[in-house]
Amino acid sequence: MTYILLHHSGCSTSRKGLALLEENGVEPEIRKYMNASEALSVDELKDIAKKMGASSPRAFLRDKNAADVGIDDATSDEAIFVAMAANPKIIQRPIGIVGKKAVLGRPIEDLLKLV
């Protein structure tokens, strides 16, 4: 099965996660979701949450950027998914996806759970 890595090359944790995978013999398919041409849709984000076993997008919301786009404790999950699709900087990274499973690479060693 293909290992997909949602990756942002401007993020040191994401770069370290990619390096860890490569050191362990995993050559993931890289999805640079911050690029407009590879942006994630609301449906894709909902699917990622489901694959993580999460009931909310808050499981992979980048809290330190959430307030910048108006997300607070009262914001609905649907509004967060919409905000993530429009503002990918509020998505935590890296995220590994293999088949019907996904993990947030925080810590990066969690990415190896899918290998």
Residue bearing tokens 């809290």: 63
Q: Which is the catalytic residue, given 2, 6, 7, 11?
A: 11
**Whole-angstrom Cα distance, residue 68 to residue 87?**
10
17: left (phi over 0), alpha (psi -120 to 50) or beta: alpha
Q: Is 106 among the residues known to form the active site?
A: no
**Among all residues, which ones are annotated catalytic?**
11
